[in-house]
Amino acid sequence: MERDVSAKIRLYVEHPLGQAQTLPLTREQAHYLFGVMRLGVGAHVLVFDGANGEWLAEVSQAGKRNGALLVLKQTRPQQMPPDLWLLFAPVKKARTDFIVEKAVEMGVSRLVPIQTDFTNSGRIQRDRLQAHAVEATEQCGATFVPEVGEMRRVGAVLDAWDSARNIMFCDETEAGARRGLPVVNGPWAVLIGPEGGFTQTERDRLHRLGHAHAVSLGPRILRADTAAVAALTLWQNALGDWS
């Protein structure tokens, strides 16, 4: 399979893809393709649905408020990321957006917002964060869109946790301790705390879990958004699809 180098735009569509299929565009997609990017009939676009790989499509109808694409051929098979979740405490709006964007780029399979005792944000706009995940997938060339879950209390998340999924617990009190990640295959989750870190009660509970592994992210305490990138880098290098 070869990608069409003339197709510069990737678009996520909520329709199962197949050859010779006609895809109706939403008003927003039509505006983006024809109003913003100035594409016309015959232009090529790469499309994906999150489950059936990437496909080359051709603009068959172009209007100000609607349009359609004709699916020509598959350019890449479906590629799944590692079975890695990111549990994170939302911070300020722009920085939370950054966490979601970078997590998608770095290959997580699910994003789980959590509320801890020190979490500043009491709620999230899940639909907006999911839209950011879609945009990041379009930009980074992935074919799978991670789901952004509903925000839940960290205690409730741990109560229902499957112990078969190990947790990489990024404990800010471990800064400089040189405690690394154990090489254990299987499903994993990376847990990042909020501004101010975890409370002692939360930290004690995590340390009692046999499937939670406290790690150090270096000699300095990192901001939450920086910590997410650093932790995912360490995990991918040791256990993920980078190694």
Per-residue pLDDT of the chain (243 residues; tens, 9 = 90+): 655 556 889 999 999 999 999 999 999 999 999 999 999 999 999 999 999 999 999 999 998 889 999 999 999 999 999 999 999 999 988 999 999 999 999 999 999 999 999 997 767 899 999 999 999 999 999 999 999 999 999 999 999 999 999 999 998 887 767 777 888 999 999 999 998 889 999 999 999 999 999 998 988 889 999 999 999 999 999 999 986
**What is the reported pLDDT for 5?**
54
In a shared domain, residues 70 and 122? no
**What is the reported pLDDT for 4?**
55
Q: How many C-beta neighbours within 10 Å does residue 208 have?
A: 8
Establish if 134 belongs to a structural domain.
Answer: yes
Q: What is the CATH number of the domain that holds 21?
A: 2.40.240.20
In a shared domain, residues 68 and 117? no
In a shared domain, residues 61 and 39? yes
For helices 93-106 and 126-140, the axis angle rounded to 10 degrees is: 40
Of 52, 76, 100, the one marking the end of a domain is: 76
**What is the reported pLDDT for 223?**
92
Q: Which domain holds residue 96?
A: 84-239
Could you tell me if 14 and 49 are in contact, meaning their C-beta atoms sit under 8 angstroms apart?
yes
**What is the reported pLDDT for 195?**
86
Q: What is the CATH number of the domain that holds 150?
A: 3.40.1280.10
Total tally of structural domains belonging to the chain = 2
What's the predicted TM-score (pTM) here? 0.91
In a shared domain, residues 214 and 121? yes
Q: What gap in Å lies between CA 226 and CA 102, rounded to an integer?
A: 10
Could you tell me if 224 and 95 are in contact, meaning their C-beta atoms sit under 8 angstroms apart?
yes
47 three-state secondary structure: strand
Q: Where are the beta strands (DSSP E) in 38-115?
A: 44-48, 54-62, 67-76, 84-88, 110-115
**What is the reported pLDDT for 233?**
96
In a shared domain, residues 210 and 115? yes
CA 83 to chain centre: 12
**What is the reported pLDDT for 123?**
79
In a shared domain, residues 164 and 47? no
Of 55, 76, 97, the one marking the end of a domain is: 76
